Amino acid sequence: MPLVEKDNSKKNWLKPVLVMAKIAVSIGLLAFLIHSADIDLHELRASLAKTDPLFVFLALLTPYAGFYITSLRWKGLLDVQGVQIRQPILFRSCMVAVFFNQIMPSIIGGDMIRMYDSWKAGATRSVAISTIVVDRVLGLFALAIFAVLGLFFIRGDLADAYYVSLAVVAVALGLGGFIALVFSPIPVMVDFARAIYTKLPGPFGKFFGKVDRAVEPFRGRHLSLVRALGLSLLLQLNVVLLHYLLSRAIGIELGFIDYFYVVPVALFVMLIPISINGIGVRESMFVFLLGSMGVAKSDALVLSLLAFSIFLVHGLMGGLVLASRGISPRKLAQDAAAPAAGTTA
């Protein structure tokens, strides 16, 4: 018992420290970006002043299409495992997940909320977790496909950032390999992977064993893969559209195809958990990538901040959906953490 109490006290002490560190990194990155890129605050105000509200309004509508597509893909993956959950439940869960991602990133992730909601709606814990993992990987793979295709159409000079292109290709290959193992495995490769993870030390071997068993229902389900991947591509197209509409709002003269590279790369880099909601990291990538295409740094920074504002607004909308459930964010976070911890312990 004393050991458990000691571990809990350590976690309680560590959380606020990590949050403060991420906040410091976010502020530091923004300050460094503005200073190093020599961005004038007057230019930022000028970029904001010329923003066209019509395009901003249209961009505000795109996340609703994203919630619908995500819930449709999620429902299809649950159907594969024999779990029938109504799509409106999954749609509302996606909205609440954005709330936790944007408003309360230090407490719990939106994916864990989605796991919890599908578990409460009838899925087993292992099904709830494996479905979200496959769902997330498919989304990232679609994002990587867009980024790789964008390499062939990019108009900017990325000679000084060839490592970014290499990283994009490497990530795409890795995600594609994972999806192939899940949906269309080669028996020799599966046997080889099992021979490796069974030799790993206790906790690691058990973890990969659980992953192996959890994805078993997806193996050989090629039609389900095609459908889910198609929805994933449509979802990422919607994300690219959001950023393109915002770029039109502030008068950036780039074609729609240019954002097939910029947006996926920026979103991938945002996954590095060193700042709050990717603040600072996202802005740096937009300034860097769009700057290589001749876009003014102030416009690139405003575009990034507007995109963050869009998701912040929808995070607040997700909070209203959560409030309609009659449960506090803290209570939901505690409830959601319990089943996931029980499964992965």
Say what the pLDDT of residue 100 is. Answer: 86
CA 164 – CA 188 distance, rounded (Å): 33
State the average pLDDT for the chain: 80
CA 100 – CA 108 distance, rounded (Å): 7
Cβ atoms of 33 and 280 within 8 Å: the answer is yes
Cβ atoms of 318 and 97 within 8 Å: the answer is yes
Say what the pLDDT of residue 51 is. Answer: 86
What tokens does 216 get?
A: 């078993």
Higher pLDDT, 229 or 190: 229
Say what the pLDDT of residue 71 is. Answer: 95
Say what the pLDDT of residue 344 is. Answer: 44
**Each residue of 260-314: pLDDT tens digit?**
888 888 887 777 777 677 777 888 888 888 888 888 888 888 898 899 889 889 9
**% of the chain with per-residue pLDDT over 70:** 81
| Side chain identity, residue 9 | S
Say what the pLDDT of residue 96 is. Answer: 92
Point out the least confidently predicted range of 32-46, 111-125, 178-192, 309-323. 32-46
Point out the least confidently predicted range of 36-50, 109-123, 129-143. 36-50
Higher pLDDT, 165 or 12: 165
Point out the least confidently predicted range of 12-16, 24-28, 99-103, 333-337. 12-16
**Each residue of 191-224: pLDDT tens digit?**
887 888 788 877 777 777 777 777 788 888 888 8
Going by C-alpha positions, the residue among 45, 66, 51, 63 that lies closest to residue 246 is: 51
CA 224 – CA 234 distance, rounded (Å): 15
pLDDT at residue 14 above 50?
yes
What tokens does 123 get?
A: 């899925």
Neighbours of 63 (CB within 10 A): 23
Please list the alpha-helical segments (H only) found in the chain: 2-36, 41-49, 53-80, 87-102, 110-120, 125-151, 162-183, 187-197, 202-214, 222-249, 259-270, 281-291, 297-324, 329-344
CA 222 – CA 121 distance, rounded (Å): 26
Structural domain boundaries in the chain: 50-184+220-344
**Each residue of 165-200: pLDDT tens digit?**
777 788 888 888 888 878 877 777 778 878 887 888
Q: How far is CA 81 from CA 37, 89, 93, 131, in A?
A: 50, 18, 19, 9
Going by C-alpha positions, the residue among 74, 101, 94 that lies closest to residue 228 is: 74
Higher pLDDT, 85 or 337: 85
Task: Please give the model's pTM, rounded to 2 decimal places.
Answer: 0.81
How many Cα atoms sit within 13 Å of 97 on the Cβ side?
A: 22
Higher pLDDT, 25 or 46: 46
Per the listing, tokens 């793979």 go with 141
Cβ atoms of 63 and 311 within 8 Å: the answer is yes
Say what the pLDDT of residue 105 is. Answer: 55
Say what the pLDDT of residue 161 is. Answer: 57
pLDDT at residue 43 above 70?
yes
